[in-house]
């Protein structure tokens, strides 16, 4: 049987580093106040001459899209029909959108493309949103428990009669402005481009051949903001604001693995965000796909094994060291980008920041956002095997209102053996 190959039509692969492929693409003037002057982000593959960025839409899912096309399940020239996809709630432009260097890793106009770039769309240019805003109800057993324990009440508005929580969800794909990113890291743009190119195995040649293209759609995970109360209130410093910025931990967040505090801290953040909204404030939980301190889950599980197989067993004194042995770094999350999402909503002040991380706190305050209270995870929510993590973090400078553990006490904090 002769298999049909939908892609191999005899045509040559044209390298995207050939500048004539980009034709008379619309320029992007990052940070410009007028969206038409700023210009749309055009990552379409279907008409390559319109493209004005490196990479394409969909973050890490761009690989699955390519696979669908290769296997003949998806047409490479499909143009999205965006009827009725407009945001369920408007996010109005904020001063932070136009302040230089304030937002470098997302496109603040990403949810508004259907409106502000209408004239380009009408010319037939394919412009895809990089932000989508919808609404939903959350059903969480911990929230039911909080209602039963009378820490939360059913108000019929934010917490419904059926004990669901009403929420606005905002999905944000990464859009990186390379000159601003190099500025934030205080490195040369050429160094950034060269390293991104070579360390991804040469995945994006335009990083080094097309210095005129300033925007990259990196093939990495997205972020999602969950807002409790009115989205517009996030920009109002008169309103009380509760915030949790959470980095993905699939094992704990979804499966309840007890070696870390991730899900308990996440859900405690949701509970407090809901409570804040119920008393007239607003809550936001931002979920970043940065699994295992952005080192990935395979690395994370290798570290777990290395920790638990040490001669002294898993203990808080060597918690960070074991990660560094396996991964080469303790943490690759780069919280420097994280406040971009907060700036997208125009947040200038956080009343209650649910995080003990000094890296997150430093990044938020360096972004000009005032933090009034830092909220640590309550002791009774720390799972049995997560003591090692929490004590090691306290010793490393994470926020705590108790004593900072010394090296002697760290060694005595033991985790479970592999079983
Ligand atoms: Zn975790």
pLDDT by residue (tens digit) across 312-349?
888 888 888 888 888 888 887 789 999 999 999 999 99
Q: What are the pLDDT digits (tens) for 77-113?
A: 788 889 999 999 999 999 999 999 999 999 999 999 9
Q: Ligand 1 centre from 320 Cα, in Å?
A: 14
| CB-based contact 174:163 (threshold 8 Å) | no
Q: In the predicted model, is pLDDT for residue 197 greater than 80?
A: yes
Q: In the predicted model, is pLDDT for residue 120 greater than 90?
A: yes
* DSSP codes, 281-332: -EEEEEEE--HHHHT-HHHHHHHHHHHHTSTT-SBGGGHHHHHHHHHSSS--
Between 276 and 399, whose confidence is greater?
A: 276
Neighbours of ion ligand 1 (CB under 5 A): 249, 252, 260, 262
**Residue 175, both tokens:** 């859009």
Encode burial over 290-301: b for 16+ CB neighbours within 10 A, e otherwise: bbbbbbeeebbe
Q: Ligand 1 centre from 49 Cα, in Å?
A: 44
In 10 A of CB 23, how many CB atoms?
12
Q: Ligand 1 centre from 219 Cα, in Å?
A: 23
Rounded distance, CA 197 to CA 212, Å? 16
pLDDT of residue 3: 45
Give 18's contacts (C-beta < 8 A, 6+ positions apart): none
Q: In the predicted model, is pLDDT for residue 1 greater than 50?
A: no
Of 100, 91, 130, the residue nearest 344 (C-alpha): 91
**Is residue 198 helix, strand or coil?**
helix
pLDDT of residue 5: 55
pLDDT of residue 388: 82
Q: What is the DSSP letter of 403?
A: P
Q: In the predicted model, is pLDDT for residue 14 greater than 80?
A: no
Rounded distance, CA 399 to CA 358, Å? 6
Rounded distance, CA 353 to CA 360, Å? 10
Rounded distance, CA 341 to CA 345, Å? 7
Is residue 8 very low, low, confident or very high in pLDDT (cuts 50, 70, 90)? low
Q: Ligand 1 centre from 268 Cα, in Å?
A: 14
Phi, psi at 375, each rounded to 5°: -110, 120
Q: What are the pLDDT digits (tens) for 357-380?
A: 999 999 999 999 999 999 998 888
| CB-based contact 165:228 (threshold 8 Å) | yes
Q: Ligand 1 centre from 255 Cα, in Å?
A: 10
Q: Ligand 1 centre from 381 Cα, in Å?
A: 13
Between 398 and 264, whose confidence is greater?
A: 264
pLDDT of residue 13: 61
Is residue 144 very low, low, confident or very high in pLDDT (cuts 50, 70, 90)? very high
Catalytic residues: 331, 333
Phi, psi at 244, each rounded to 5°: -125, 125
Please state whether beta strands 223-228 and 215-217 pair in parallel, antiparallel, or not at all (unpaired). Answer: unpaired
Q: What are the pLDDT digits (tens) for 384-400?
A: 888 888 888 888 778 87
Rounded distance, CA 21 to CA 51, Å? 9
pLDDT of residue 2: 43
Q: Scanning the structure block, which residue is given the tokens 């301190």?
A: 293
Of 283, 281, 328, 282, the residue nearest 302 (C-alpha): 328
Q: Ligand 1 centre from 169 Cα, in Å?
A: 22
Q: Ligand 1 centre from 251 Cα, in Å?
A: 7
Please state whether beta strands 215-217 and 370-375 pair in parallel, antiparallel, or not at all (unpaired). Answer: unpaired
Q: Ligand 1 centre from 65 Cα, in Å?
A: 30
Q: Ligand 1 centre from 107 Cα, in Å?
A: 29
Q: Ligand 1 centre from 250 Cα, in Å?
A: 7
| pTM for the whole structure | 0.91
What is the C-alpha end-to-end distance of the chain, expressed in Å?
50
Q: Ligand 1 centre from 377 Cα, in Å?
A: 13
């Amino acid at each position: 049987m002769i298999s049909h190959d939908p892609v191999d039509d005899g045509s040559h692969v044209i390298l995207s580093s050939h500048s004539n492929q980009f034709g008379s693409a619309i320029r992007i003037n990052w940070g410009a106040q007028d969206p038409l002057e700023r210009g749309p982000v055009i990552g379409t593959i279907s008409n390559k001459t319109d493209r004005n960025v490196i990479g394409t839409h969909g973050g890490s899912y761009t690989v699955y899209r390519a696979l669908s096309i290769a296997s003949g399940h998806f047409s490479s020239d499909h143009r999205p029909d965006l009827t009725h996809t407009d945001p369920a709630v408007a996010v109005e432009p904020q001063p932070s959108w136009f302040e230089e260097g304030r937002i470098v890793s997302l496109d603040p106009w990403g949810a508004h493309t259907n409106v502000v770039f209408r004239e380009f769309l009408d010319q037939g240019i394919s412009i895809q949103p990089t932000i989508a805003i919808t609404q939903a109800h959350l059903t969480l057993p911990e929230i039911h428990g909080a209602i039963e324990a009378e820490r939360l009440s059913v108000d019929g508005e934010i917490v419904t009669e059926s004990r669901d929580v009403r929420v606005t969800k905002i999905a944000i794909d990464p859009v990186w402005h390379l000159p601003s990113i190099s500025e934030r890291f205080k490195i040369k743009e050429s160094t950034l481009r060269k390293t991104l190119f070579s360390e991804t195995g040469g995945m994006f040649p335009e990083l080094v051949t097309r210095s005129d293209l300033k925007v990259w759609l990196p093939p990495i995970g997205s972020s999602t903001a969950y807002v409790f109360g009115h989205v517009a209130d996030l920009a109002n410093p008169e309103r009380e604001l509760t915030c949790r910025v959470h980095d993905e931990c699939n094992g704990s967040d979804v499966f309840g693995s007890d070696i870390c505090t991730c899900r308990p801290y996440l859900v405690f953040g949701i509970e407090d965000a809901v409570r804040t909204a119920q008393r007239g404030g607003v809550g936001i939980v931002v979920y970043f796909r940065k699994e295992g301190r952005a080192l990935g889950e395979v690395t994370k599980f290798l570290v777990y094994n290395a920790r638990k197989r040490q001669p002294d067993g898993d203990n808080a004194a060597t918690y960070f060291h074991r990660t560094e042995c396996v991964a080469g770094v303790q943490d690759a999350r780069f919280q420097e980008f994280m406040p971009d999402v907060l700036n997208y909503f125009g947040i200038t002040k956080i009343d209650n920041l649910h995080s003990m991380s000094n890296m997150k706190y430093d990044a938020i305050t360096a972004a000009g956002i005032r933090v009034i209270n830092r909220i640590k995870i309550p002791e009774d929510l720390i799972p049995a095997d997560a003591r090692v993590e929490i004590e090691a973090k306290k010793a490393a400078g994470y926020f705590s209102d108790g004593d900072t553990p010394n090296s002697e006490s760290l060694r005595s904090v033991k985790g479970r053996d592999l079983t």
